[in-house]
Amino acid sequence: MLELNFSNMMGEVVGQSGIPEREIEGIKTTVYDIDKRIKAKERPELAFIDLLEQDISEIKKIASAVRGEFESFIILGIGGSALGPRAIIEALSPLHNLDKKPKVFIYDNVDPRTFDRILSLADIKKTAVNVITKSGSTAETMSSFMILWDKFNKTVPDASKRFIATTDPEKGNLRKIADEKGFKTLSIPPGVGGRYSVLSPVGLLLTEVIGINADEMLQGARDIHKRCTDPEIWRNPAYLFGVLLYIMEREEKRPINVMVPYADGLKPTAEWFCQLWAESLGKLGMGLTPYPSLGTTDQHSQLQLWMEGPEDKVVIFIKVDDYTVDAEIPKVFQDMDGLNYLGGHTLSELIKAEQESTELALAKIKRPNMTISIPKIDAYHMGQLFHFFEMATAFTGFLYGVNPFNQPGVEEGKNFTYGMMGRKGYEAKRQEVEKAREKKMCWRV
Amino acid sequence: MLELNFSNMMGEVVGQSGIPEREIEGIKTTVYDIDKRIKAKERPELAFIDLLEQDISEIKKIASAVRGEFESFIILGIGGSALGPRAIIEALSPLHNLDKKPKVFIYDNVDPRTFDRILSLADIKKTAVNVITKSGSTAETMSSFMILWDKFNKTVPDASKRFIATTDPEKGNLRKIADEKGFKTLSIPPGVGGRYSVLSPVGLLLTEVIGINADEMLQGARDIHKRCTDPEIWRNPAYLFGVLLYIMEREEKRPINVMVPYADGLKPTAEWFCQLWAESLGKLGMGLTPYPSLGTTDQHSQLQLWMEGPEDKVVIFIKVDDYTVDAEIPKVFQDMDGLNYLGGHTLSELIKAEQESTELALAKIKRPNMTISIPKIDAYHMGQLFHFFEMATAFTGFLYGVNPFNQPGVEEGKNFTYGMMGRKGYEAKRQEVEKAREKKMCWRV
């Protein structure tokens, strides 16, 4: 089971930069109230919790067909539709494409260079495509879908058998196309938003495609769910996570949350968390800025700033208890001071020592931090990690009094793009762009 | 040539959140002074500028041998010794390992899972190793070096011919070992620090190993150097970049600098920049927090926070003028509103429209941002980008009155690790760790 060690967040340990126990006590009534609202499913988007009980037999069937028939598997999706899948494959099958089948390409941008490379690497005749968009009209995803659909139709006789649409069960253009053309389809339940969808078919199809049992991921999520709905804050890691970071921002003026897993494979999980945390909480002029990082690597990149830069950060470590593989450092160069101490230890001893050292170095100068321990990086514990963070994020949104499920701030940018691309009804936006271009003062060098 | 468009940083465009022209005028004298100090090479670490004139014939020779003889090329390095190489390969040879030789593995951590995977993918008999550490005793790098050295010795008769050491020309354990064992070696000039070393053999060897002419990279850097040493701030993109972000932090309380390239291949370049910026400036309780991002992808992840979160950020776009490849979106599904507008456009049109839209949406609500344009992603322009950022960083360090070349804040963590790993002379640190563990209050859930 995941564990949250928050000693270094507390006043007893880090003094004035820490949180006094009574402050957490003082927030208990609010927490009881939010807990009730979550359990009452006050908002339809809390449907992400129902994912834990979903039937995944159709996912397994489709995945098994993909595994049997195709050499490459392209995912088209962006934001929540790509970050979850990427977190899963990098955690559970690192460097997958170098010796595993099917190769997996997650195309989550409209970068022409990447698109060109993927097309030169994936043989269309042996490729399946999973198009993921809840709304069914995401510009980035649907553009690349349109190109691939056309290309497949010109190359293989049974194009429609190679497309799997993961989208709304009823609404949207992709659903309509999928039904008309006879694609295989998987549904994202109506309430579930993109960034809360990793444990829906969005993430689970890929899990099964790379040969991992998605049941285990859901089992992990179910097992931690009980702890994440305990109304007693001192026993609930998700609520506590939110309360601690909330107080750190509101009272201690620390709005930046650095997320540092000590495992290469969890770097995309930190990025997945960053979307969840940023997009859910960043509104009404408030919000926490999550920062994706990686240990030990970023000790040689960001640590200087965490230690001696402005006092505006909380560092959150993710510590792995068992890496399941290891390598011993041999006792070579024993005559060399500055090297000889390494011999006889293992890589996992070193990485763990570095994680603890960094924690301690921060605490020693009263810079708050906390540590999430994950027993090992497998499907079961990834399920725990995902669900824990989703519960924590929804809870923290309620704590801030914002809607943790919308993202109104991204609309204006989309409108300008529609205008520039000539979408009907957006003529005024196009004019606005043109006007802005005209009057744009060119400060340029 | 790179271009910096900073219209949306100026008061004339973004009103009160912007910078009045006179404020930049007012800083001119300081800039003249710093310019003189840079040109006088006031600090020995400004030696990174001399890299532009280096002789790279030895690099070319070694690279050519690696290309001819080996199927895999492992780089051991961390921080500046890895971020530069990673930025280069992902920008100039994306998805390299899927169809190019030699395969390149950059091991910049002590994660046992990654190490295990690399060893299962690279056939030692056909592998060369580049060990990169300036000091010659970086714990992470030397640990994996010791393991590989031992393994190579047990597997191939000519192990020492497969190791290339990139390190100080005279000092340190790695230099000593390399000389004793007869490794090929490349020198990092004494003054050049890790995070300013991408245009030294640290980055250039890999450039040549993947078949790219490193001369072009240096030529790009040389060509922009002239502009980056113009004492007139209005004509100097590097100084202006620093002054704008400095004023935004000091006067406007915007300490977070989001770096958003609109190209998958530049994501590691953003991470490279983040080390440079964070470690150089984050000291004495000051500093700017650079944030690595990616367009269009993070419009579906971070944009909400940039638009509606706290007013503590400046967004820096990197825009690509020519992606050199493209794909047209076909006119399919023309009966579908919400899709039909895409047909007939290309991916590069869409990605450019999205970049401009995001810029405009931010400017419209008076959130400052600026845009670096890069004509295309090739060796010449990557050289420009690297050198531009290095000059800007050194300059900005002088502007803050900090030493942009040291990183004193990382020492304490290292000391604790030495203590835990039993290094001689660090017994007191070990005791400190043990004491901390004992008295650690276990706030845990």
Note the pLDDT of residue B228: 97
Per the structure block, which two tokens stand in for B109? 């951590």
Q: Which residues contact B135 (CB under 8 A, 6 or more apart)?
A: B167, B168, B171, B172
Q: In what side-by-side order are the strands of the sheet with B3-5?
A: B3-5, B369-374, B313-320, B256-261, B289-292
Q: Which domains does chain A have, with CATH numbers?
A: 3-38+224-400 (3.40.50.10490), 49-212 (3.40.50.10490)
Nearest CA in chain B to A305: B282
Q: Which residues of A touch B137 (CB under 8 A)?
A: 338-339
Residue A61: CB atoms within 10 A of its CB come to 12
Note the pLDDT of residue B385: 98
Whether the predicted pLDDT of B388 surpasses 90: yes
- A352 tagged catalytic: no
Phi, psi of B260 (to 5 degrees): -125, 90
Note the pLDDT of residue B418: 95
Please, which contacts does B52-59 make with residues 24 or more away whose CB atoms are closer than 8 Å? B52/B199, B52/B218, B52/B221, B52/B222, B52/B225, B52/B387, B53/B222, B54/B200, B54/B218, B56/B201, B56/B204, B56/B208, B56/B214, B56/B215, B56/B218, B58/B186, B59/B186, B59/B201, B59/B204, B59/B205, B59/B208, B59/B214
3-state secondary structure chain A: CCEEECHHHEHHHHHHHCECHHHHHCCHHHHHHHHHHHHCCCCHHHHHHHHHHCCCHHHHHHHHHHHHHCCEEEEECCCHHHHHHHHHHHHHCCCHHHCCCCEEEEECCCCHHHHHHHHHHCCHHHEEEEEECCCCCCHHHHHHHHHHHHHHHHHCCCHHHHEEEEECCCCCHHHHHHHHHCCEEEECCCCCCHHHCCCCHHHHHHHHHCCCCHHHHHHHHHHHHHHCCCCCHHHCHHHHHHHHHHHHHHCCCCCEEEEEECCHHHHHHHHHHHHHHHHHHCCCCCCCEEEECCCCHHHHCCHHHHHHCCCCEEEEEEEECCCCCCCECCCCCCCCCCCHHHCCCEHHHHHHHHHHHHHHHHHHCCCCEEEEEECCCCHHHHHHHHHHHHHHHHHHHHHHCCCCCCCHHHHHHHHHHHHHHCCCCCHHHHHHHHHHHHHCCCCEC
Q: How far apart are CA B104 and CA B89, in angstroms?
A: 9
CA atoms within 13 A on the CB side of A375: 9
More confident residue, B440 or B305: B305
Dump pLDDT digits (tens) for B265-304: 999 999 999 999 999 999 999 999 999 999 999 999 999 9
| B13 DSSP assignment | H
B143: nearest Cα among A321, A339, A349? A339
B197: nearest Cα among B393, B42, B346? B393
Q: How far apart are CA A290 and CA A319, in angstroms?
A: 18
Q: Is the ipTM of this complex over 0.85?
A: yes
Q: Which residues of B touch A314 (CB under 8 A)?
A: none
In total, chain A counts a number of residues equal to 445
The size of the A-B interface in CB pairs under 8 A is 474
Q: Which of B4, B278, B346 sits opposite A305 (nearest CB)?
A: B278
With CB atoms and an 8 Å threshold, state whether B297 touches A108. yes
Q: Which residues of B touch A278 (CB under 8 A)?
A: 301-302, 304-305, 309
Note the pLDDT of residue B292: 96
Dump pLDDT digits (tens) for B119-139: 999 999 999 999 999 999 999
Whether the predicted pLDDT of B442 surpasses 70: no
Q: How far is CA A166 from CA A134, A144, A176, B259, in A?
A: 7, 15, 12, 31
Q: How far apart are CA A118 and CA A116, in angstroms?
A: 6
Q: Which residues of B touch A10 (CB under 8 A)?
A: 441, 443
Catalytic residue, chosen from B300, B424, B439, B440, is B300
Q: Which residues of B touch A363 (CB under 8 A)?
A: 436
Q: Is the torsion defined by CA of B294, B300, B305, B307 positive or negative?
A: positive
Instruction: Give SS3 for B252.
Output: coil
Q: Which residues of B touch A118 (CB under 8 A)?
A: 95
B338: nearest Cα among A135, A76, A410? A135
Dump pLDDT digits (tens) for B255-267: 999 999 999 999 9
With CB atoms and an 8 Å threshold, state whether A336 touches B176. yes
Q: Which residues of chain A have pLDDT under 50?
A: none
With CB atoms and an 8 Å threshold, state whether B137 touches A236. no
Phi, psi of B230 (to 5 degrees): -70, 125
Residue B438's pLDDT band (cuts 50, 70, 90): confident
Q: How far apart are CA B412 and CA B398, in angstroms?
A: 25
Catalytic residue, chosen from A45, A279, A359, A390, is A279
- Percent of chain B whose predicted confidence (pLDDT) is above 70: 99
Helix axes B237-250, B379-400, angle to 10 degrees: 40
Q: How far apart are CA A161 and CA A182, in angstroms?
A: 8
Note the pLDDT of residue B441: 62
Distance to chain B for A432, nearest Cα, Å:
10
Q: Which of B305, B332, B347 sits opposite A289 (nearest CB)?
A: B305
CA atoms within 13 A on the CB side of A345: 23
Angle A294-A326-B142 from CA coordinates, rounded to 5°: 65
Q: Is the torsion defined by CA of B358, B360, B363, B365 positive or negative?
A: negative
Residue with tokens 């091991």: B107
Q: How far apart are CA A379 and CA A372, in angstroms?
A: 17
Catalytic residue, chosen from B45, B279, B359, B390, is B279
Contact status, residue A416 vs residue B299, Cβ threshold 8 Å: no
Q: How far apart are CA A184 and CA A380, in angstroms?
A: 27
Note the pLDDT of residue B445: 74
Dump pLDDT digits (tens) for B83-122: 999 999 999 999 999 999 999 999 999 999 999 999 999 9
Q: How far apart are CA A137 and CA A148, in angstroms?
A: 16
| pTM for this model (two decimals) | 0.97
Catalytic residue, chosen from A154, A300, A424, A440, is A300
Q: How far apart are CA B355 and CA B352, in angstroms?
A: 5
Angle B341-B301-B323 from CA coordinates, rounded to 5°: 55
Instruction: Give SS3 for B296.
Output: coil
With CB atoms and an 8 Å threshold, state whether B10 touches A443. yes
Which of B109, B124, B269 to probe the A interface (max A CBs under 10 A)?
B109
With CB atoms and an 8 Å threshold, state whether A113 touches B302. no
Q: In what side-by-side order are the strands of the sheet with B72-76?
A: B103-107, B72-76, B127-132, B163-167, B184-187
Contact status, residue B281 vs residue B402, Cβ threshold 8 Å: yes
Nearest CA in chain A to B174: A339
Which of A300, A341, A356 to probe the B interface (max B CBs under 10 A)?
A300
Q: Which residues of A touch B78 (CB under 8 A)?
A: 296-297, 300
A4: nearest Cα among A314, A373, A352, A389? A373
- A414 tagged catalytic: yes
Instruction: Give SS3 for B3.
Output: strand
- Percent of chain B whose predicted confidence (pLDDT) is above 90: 97
Q: Which of A349, A364, A423 sits opposite B341 (nearest CB)?
A: A423
Contact status, residue A405 vs residue A287, Cβ threshold 8 Å: no
Q: How far apart are CA B165 and CA B184, in angstroms?
A: 6
With CB atoms and an 8 Å threshold, state whether B108 touches A297. yes
Whether the predicted pLDDT of B429 surpasses 80: yes
Nearest CA in chain A to B358: A413
Q: Which of B256, B297, B343 sits opposite A78 (nearest CB)?
A: B297
Q: How far apart are CA A92 and CA A379, in angstroms?
A: 7
Q: Which residues contact B83 (CB under 8 A, 6 or more apart)?
A: A301, B108, B195, B198, B268, B271, B272, B275
Residue B437's pLDDT band (cuts 50, 70, 90): confident
**Range B191-201 burial, b when 16+ CB lie within 10 A, else e:** bbbbbbbbbbb
Note the pLDDT of residue B440: 63
Distance to chain B for A133, nearest Cα, Å:
12
Instruction: Give SS3 for B130.
Output: strand
Q: How far apart are CA A64 and CA A346, in angstroms?
A: 38
Dump pLDDT digits (tens) for B135-187: 999 999 999 999 999 999 999 999 999 999 999 999 999 999 999 999 999 99
CA atoms within 13 A on the CB side of B378: 14
Note the pLDDT of residue A444: 74
Contact status, residue A18 vs residue A24, Cβ threshold 8 Å: no
Note the pLDDT of residue A439: 67
Dump pLDDT digits (tens) for B64-88: 999 999 999 999 999 999 999 999 9
Whether the predicted pLDDT of B436 surpasses 90: no
Instruction: Give SS3 for B75.
Output: strand
Note the pLDDT of residue B321: 97
| B46 DSSP assignment | G
